Structure 1
Amino acid sequence: MQIKNLGSEKTTAENSDIIAIQQADGVTCHITRENFLGNVGGATSAQKYIQLSETFPSGSKGGSAPVNAWSARKLNTIKTDDTGTVVLDSSTGVFLLPAGIYYINATSNFYAVGEVKLRLQNITTNSTLLIGSNGYCSYNDNSYTDMQLRGRFTVASGESLALQYYCRVGGSIYNLGTTVQDGSSETWTIVDLSKIS
C-alpha cells in the first residue's frame, strides 16, 4: 500500500499492520492498523452503553407526585447493558453501576407539578452527583413537561444511585406519567448512560 505523495521509499506491504502517515511538516509517522481503525470517529473500545427506563403496561398511570421532597423515579427496566453487571431494584428505582466514569442523558415526564427538577443522587454516600435545570409545568393549564439531566460523573464500586425529582404540586394520577394507550408500553423516564472509562 502506498500513501499518496509519500514516495516509493515510504510504502508498506499490502498486508502490513503498519500504516505510514505523513504529517504537515513532512515527517512520516507509523501507526498500527488496529489503533488507526479503533480511533476512527473518536470511538473507543472501552465505552459501554446502558439504558434504564421507567416502563409499565399500556394504560398505566404514573401516579401522584410527592411534593416538596426529593423522590426517586421508579426505574424498573434494564433495556440495554453492555457491561452485563448493572443491578436495578425495580421496587425503588435504585441501581448499581460498575465503578467508572459515566455520561448520563436522562429524560423524565411530568404533568401539572408546578416547579420541578431532576438530580442524580448517590444513595450510598448521600451526595448529589448532578443536578438539572429548573422546569415548570402549570397545574392551572394541565400542562406536561419533559425534564432532562445531562452530565459526567464518577462512581465507585458498590455505590447505589437514584434518579430523583423534586416538585411543588401533586394530587393527580398523571403527575408522574401520562397514558397513551396505544397498545405499547407506557414509558415515563429513560436514562441513557455511557461508561467512558
Structure 2
Amino acid sequence: MLTTIQTSGGNPNAGENCDEYPFASTSDSDKGGQVSKCVISKHNSRQGNIISQYITNTCGGQNCQFIVGFGNPASPGVKYCQAYNDRYNQCTPDGTIFKNGKPDVRPPPAKRDGNSTQVGGLYLMKSGMKVAFGANLDIGTQTKHATPKNATMLALVDDSDDDEGLVEWDFVDDEIVEKLE
C-alpha cells in the first residue's frame, strides 16, 4: 500500500496529497532519490488501488516483479517532460514536485561515461496508448494496462466523492510497438 507523506516545504493544496516515487511498495524504494509529487487526492488513491489490485489479482497477493508505467503522460492538462533529456527546457518547477522538502523537477544529472545510455522513455503500445516507462524495454515486450471492469462505476466515482476502492480493475494485455523518445 502507498504511504501518503507530507512534504516540509511543499504541503499539498486543499484536495491534494503527496506521495513518493518510486512507490514505497517497490524494490526501487530503498535506492534513495525519491521525489514527492502532490496530486489530486483521488488520482493518488486510484494509483494505489490499481497497484494493490494488480498485486492481488496477478501475483496472488505475493511479492512479484513489475515495472510501473504512466499511460498517456502528455494528455491535455498533464505536464510531461523527460528530466534527463530536456533539450527544449520544458522541465520547470511547477510547485507539485518536492525532494528533501524543497521544490524540485529534475533528478541529479545522469553520469555520462561514454558507454551509458538514457534509461526509459515514451513508448507506443499496440492499443494506441502512449506510456512512459522508467526502464528500457524492447519492441514486442508484452505489458498489461488497467481498464475499469465497470465503466459506469468509474464514472460515478469520478463525478462524486465516492471511494476509489469501489472501482475494480481488469489488466488487459498490450504490447510495445515503438519507442517514441
Range class of TM-score, shorter chain: under 0.3
What's the TM-score once normalised by structure 1's chain length?
0.21
The structure, 1 or 2, with the larger RCO (C-alpha pairs under 8 Å, 6+ apart) is 1
Say which structure is richer in strand.
Answer: 1
What's the TM-score once normalised by structure 2's chain length?
0.22
Say which structure is richer in helix.
Answer: 2
